[in-house]
Amino acid sequence: MANLQSFLRDRCLTVLNLPDKGRSLFTSRDFRPGEVILRQEPYVSVPNNNSSESRCDGCFKTDGLKKCSGCQVVWYCGSSCQKSEWKLHRHECKALCRLEKEKRMLVTPTIRLMVKLCLKRNLQNEKVIPITTTDNYNLVEALVSHMSELDEKQLMLYAQMANLVNLILQFPGIDLKEIAENFSKFSCNAHSICDSELRPEGIGLFPLVSIINHSCSPNAVLVFEEKMAVVRAMDNISEDSEVTISYIETAGSTLTRQKSLKEQYLFHCQCARCSNIGKPHDIEESAILEGYRCANEKCNGFLLRDPDDKGFVCQNCMLLRSKEEVKKLAGDVKTVSAKALASPSAENKQDAIALYKTFEKLQEKLYHSFSITLMRTREKLLKMLMEVESWREALDYCKLIVPVYQRVYPATHPLIGLQFYTQGKLEWLLGQTEEAVSSLIKAYDILGISHGTSTPFMKELSAKLDEARAEASYKLLALKDGN
C-alpha cells in the first residue's frame, strides 16, 4: 500500500478510506476537463470472441488473424502480439489442450479471464513475469467481493465455475474458495474494454481503476486506448475532491439506476443525483424519461397518476389520460415489440426496418418525446438504416436522438460527441457541408475531453473536420465567384 500511495502521490492522487464507501480516490491538485487522471494496463484481459467475430488476444484487432496452432482457441494478428502474450499463453495453451476440442470452444471469456488470473499470479510468484506497483496480485486481493451478500444460487454458480477452472488448470492444492470469490470480484470490478466508439471488444481487470467509486453525476470518464484504461476529467475537479466515474448507463430514473447498481454492484448509491429521490424535480424527470405523454399532441407536459386512480394527469395542461387508453396502447406496443425482437433482421433488413418504424409510431403515441424507451428504438433504427445505407433517413433519426442525449447525459459525455460525429459524417456525405462542419466541431470539442486529442481516433476526426472546412470554404468562394 505504501508503494501504491507513493505512485499515486507522484500523480497528485491519494487513496482514502471513507466510512460508507471504503477505498476512494482523491485529488491533491486541480484537474482540468480532458486531463488524464490515471492510466492502467489490465492485470488480465480477454477479447469477446464468438462464432461470428474473433479478435487478437494481444491488441483486440480483427484483421489478419491466425489461430494459435496449439489450443486452436486464441487468435493473434501477428508475431508481435503473440510474443508479447507468450509468457502467459504458453501455460494457458497447455491447460486448454487438456480439454476436448469441442469443449475448448465453449470456454467463455469470463472463464478464460480467471484461468489467466491464476496463471499470472503463479508466474509472478515464480518471477517469470515481473511484479510492479500497479501490476501485482495484491491489488486484486484488495478488491471487494461482496460474497456475504450473495444468495445461494449465485454462490453455487461461482462454485461450479471454480470447479471448471480447476478442471482446466489442474493445479495441486488449488483454492476453489478463492477462485469463487474472485469470480464475485469480477462481477463487481471487471470492466468492458471498448473501442473509441464505445463498442465492447473484451473484458479486463484493472485493480487500480476499480478504486474509483461510482457517481450518477461523475466528474471523470473511463475510456480505453487499445487495452489501456484511461481516466480523464470531464469537469473541473478541484484539489481534495473525490474522483468518480459511472459504472452503469446513467440515462434513466433514480429508481432504475439504483436497481441496476444494487443488482450488479451490490450497493445503494448516495450520490448527489440520487439524494434527490422523491423530490419534485426527480419525480418530473422520472415521469419524462420513463412515463407517458400527454393525450394532447401539442402539449409536451409530463403525466402523473391521478389521485382517484382514473388514469394519468398532465401536469402542464391538466388533461386526463384514461387507464384504459394507456393499457390498450401499451398492449399494442408490447405485441409489436415481440414481433420486432423476433424479426430475423439479418435476412430481410427492409422488412425489419418497416416493423421497427411501426413500433416507433406506437411508442410516440404512448411515451414522452424524451422517453428512454423511444430513444432506444430510434438508436436501433439509426443502426439499421446505416447498414442499408439509407443516409438521409439515418440523418433524420440522428437529429432526433441528439436532443434526448443532451437531456439525459452530462454536456461532455462521449455519447453526445459520438452522435454529433455520426451526424457530421452523414451531413457531409449528403452535401450539407456547413452543417457538417458545425456538427464535427461539436464532436471534436466533446470527444477532445473524453478521448484526448492525440489518439488515432481523434486525429482521424480532426482530419475530417479540416477537410470539411476546406470544402465549405471552396463552396463559399465558388458561390461568390458565381455571383
**Coil, strand or helix: which one is 343?**
coil
**Which is more confident, 140 or 53?**
140
359-380 pLDDT per residue, tens = 999 999 999 999 999 999 999 9
382-424 pLDDT per residue, tens = 999 999 999 999 999 999 999 999 999 999 999 999 999 999 9
| Domains of the chain: residue spans and CATH | 46-191 (no CATH), 293-400 (no CATH), 409-482 (1.25.40.10)
pLDDT in the model for residue 221: 98
Strand 244-245 relative to strand 213-214, pairing: parallel
The whole-number average pLDDT for the span 240-269 is 95
Asked if the model's pLDDT at residue 51 lies above 90, the reply is no
- Quote the CA–CA distance of 431 and 436 in Å, as a whole number: 9
- Quote the CA–CA distance of 446 and 420 in Å, as a whole number: 9
- Quote the CA–CA distance of 190 and 417 in Å, as a whole number: 25
Asked if the model's pLDDT at residue 18 lies above 80, the reply is yes
- Quote the CA–CA distance of 322 and 7 in Å, as a whole number: 62
Residues linked to residue 230 through DSSP beta bridges, in sequence order? 39, 223
pTM of the model: 0.93
Asked if the model's pLDDT at residue 346 lies above 60, the reply is no
Taking alpha carbons only, the member of 384, 400, 360, 38 closest to residue 222 is 38
Percent of the chain clearing pLDDT 90 (strictly above): 90
Contact indicator for 105, 84 with CB cutoff of 8 Å: no
pLDDT in the model for residue 476: 84
Grid coordinates standing for 339?
A: 414481433
pLDDT in the model for residue 477: 85
Contacts of 76 (CB under 8 A, 6+ apart): 56, 57, 58, 65, 66, 68, 82, 85
Taking alpha carbons only, the member of 180, 188, 218, 181 closest to residue 206 is 188
- Quote the CA–CA distance of 150 and 241 in Å, as a whole number: 32
**Coil, strand or helix: which one is 338?**
helix
133-180 pLDDT per residue, tens = 999 999 999 999 999 999 999 999 999 999 999 999 999 989 999 999
- Quote the CA–CA distance of 177 and 172 in Å, as a whole number: 14
Grid coordinates standing for 120?
A: 499470472
pLDDT in the model for residue 63: 93
